[in-house]
Chains A and B, each alone.
Chain A
Amino acid sequence: MKYPILCQIMPPDLLKQLLGQVPEEEKNIVLRTIIIDSKMRERRAIMGSMSSMFPLAGEKSICIFDSHNTKDVRSSTKVRCLNDDKADDLSANEAFHGLDVTYNFYENIFGRKSIDNNNMSIKGYVHWGDKYMNAFWDGAKMCYGDGDPNLGIKSFTASIDVMGHELTHGVTQYESGLEYWCDESHHPGALNESISDVFGSLIKQYALNQTAEQADWLIGQIFTDPNLALRNMREPGTARPNDPQPAHMRDYVNLPNDEDHDNGGVHINSSIPNKAFCLAAIDIGGYAWEKAGQIWYKALHGDIPTDCDFHTFAQLTLETSKLLFGNESREHRAVRKGWEAVGIRI
């Protein structure tokens, strides 16, 4: 199983040469690698050409805007930026704090400067929409709804891991270009979601100074009932009533890849890599961002196929753990065990 990641190290000419040399039954694997490699090169070229479209701050820059319960950026007003006093608005202060902690986490732990590693200005829009029950990343900014307490949902700024989750979608956009869909044999959307949950949870643990064992591994405690969350990384399927997340590959939820089914269930099957990470981090011990987090971040930083499947990503994390900590090190074994526990044998 070495072919799926050949594109990390081999130039396209060598891949094409290899195509003429491998046995007939392996030609398809090399051909697929060439296609993935060309897709990644195309994506890098596009992202590179787009960088001039985003204003670069030059140094750390975070600004929070009030959308006044509309979905209109033009009528939004700036309420708090870096070095400003606290705003007279709880959501604005929560969003600022969450994004500030997230920036500091990425800089202090990974030496990363903002979303694009080039100090792109971080923009958060609070009071987005009318009782809007969601938070999202639109490719350039984050938007947070107020929720509706009458329906048991709080403001999405109340949960620091949600801040980290959304900003990490931006990091993934710049580092891997994982596409936003899933089917039976490709899982880039669920991996994209899982990476946001992993770093969202690490940011919460970093803010609370918790070890992997102490952490609750819950994502999105945005419900007025404090016992509920959107997702439970340690025990998928138990975060709330009717939680649809599977804990093992045998229970993978295969949904149509369309707009009516969460693009193939990107928020459903993300629990499989979530649990693998959580188990590896607990097995390694200590602060999860120090070792397991480093492995996942370095793997994300590498060349991931834009239509990556769980197995290929698992293999990348295993190889990264070996590179960082050594063959058959505690970390290397913990990563393998984590993936095996969710039914992914590498």
Chain B
Amino acid sequence: MKIYFSTSGGLMGILNNHVMIDSDTFSEKEKYQFENLIRHSDFFNLQSDRPPTHGAADYINYSISIEDGKQKHTVKTNDVTMSSQLEPVIRFLQNKIRK
């Protein structure tokens, strides 16, 4: 599984900070954890969020693309409209990048 994760915006004005993570580099525990998160979030059927309205500012935009065999899907979200299903996926990826 190939995961393309990018962030942009925020108070720091991040510009298209993107990384590619190959799930083959995950430990067995991480692989199990991530596959569960993808399943629970129903990632391959999630739609992207619309940008926030009503004056919101300094939020971070996130983009996640996952290639798994023949499946490929991209979801875009942000700090304001992010669903509770997607939040653990983003947290997992951010922790993985920090390591």
Contacts and interface: CB of A to CB of B under 8 A. Distances in A.
A53 to B, nearest CB: 10
B98 A134 contact: no
The size class of the interface chain A forms with chain B is: 35 or more
Contacts of A180: 51, 55-57
6 closest residue pairs by CB, A with B: A267-B13, A173-B55, A259-B61, A136-B58, A169-B57, A139-B54
A170 B55 contact: yes
Interface of A: 50, 71-72, 129-131, 133-139, 143, 148, 150-151, 156, 162, 165-166, 169-170, 172-174, 177, 180, 192-193, 196, 220, 230, 244, 255, 259-263, 265-268
Contacts, number: 116
Given A138-B80, A170-B55, A180-B57, 6 more contacts: A134-B12, A136-B57, A136-B80, A138-B52, A169-B57, A263-B51
A262 B14 contact: yes
Interface in B1-18: 6, 8-16
B59 interface: yes
Interface centre among B53, B54, B76, B80 (most CB of A within 10 A): B54
Contact of A71 (B6, B13, B53, B82): B82
A134 B58 contact: yes
Interface of B: 6, 8-16, 51-61, 63, 76, 78-80, 82, 84, 87, 91, 94-95, 98
Contacts of B10: 133-134, 136, 267
6 contacts: A130-B91, A134-B59, A137-B56, A138-B80, A177-B55, A244-B15
